[in-house]
Structure formats: structure tokens, C-alpha cells
Amino acid sequence: MKNMISLLAFASIIFLNTAAIARTLVYSDHEPLGNMRTTFLHEVFFSRIFKESNGQIQIEEHWNSELGKGYDALNNVKNDKID
């Protein structure tokens, strides 16, 4: 019984620590930052994600096909280049 309590305590510590780990998502867009849609994403949407997650989710932004053309997007997700 004592071992079970120790195991549960250890598991809860691990769970709480992993729940607090921040995550950075990589966002890629084929358009440059500055038009209405990309400005909204940058200034409103990504800021709200950061705020609502209490800083646990950050967005690494890449604009103007910096990480690949729009046609390459699915392959980039598949190859873990973007999220």
C-alpha cells in the first residue's frame, strides 16, 4: 500500500510538471505579413492563443513562403517542419 501511494504521488508530480511545459507551434503562411488576414492572425489570433494558454503556447511565425511554398504545406506538416 505504501508503495502504491508513493507511485501515485510520483505520477501526479510528473503529470503536473508536464502539464506546465510550454509548447511552441510553428506557423507558416504563403502571404507576407501586412495584409488584412495576416495582420489579424499576427496581432489578434496568435496573441489571444498566448493569452488564453497563460503563455504555455507560443507561435513561431513564418511569412511569405519562408518555410516553403503553399503547395508544400502538407509535406511540411508530414515532415515536422511546421505544425
pLDDT for res 50: 96
For residues 37-52, b (16+ Cβ closer than 10 Å) or e, as one string?
ebeebbeeebeeeeee
pLDDT for res 1: 52
Q: Which residues of the chain have pLDDT under 50?
A: 4, 7
Q: What is the pTM of this model?
A: 0.67
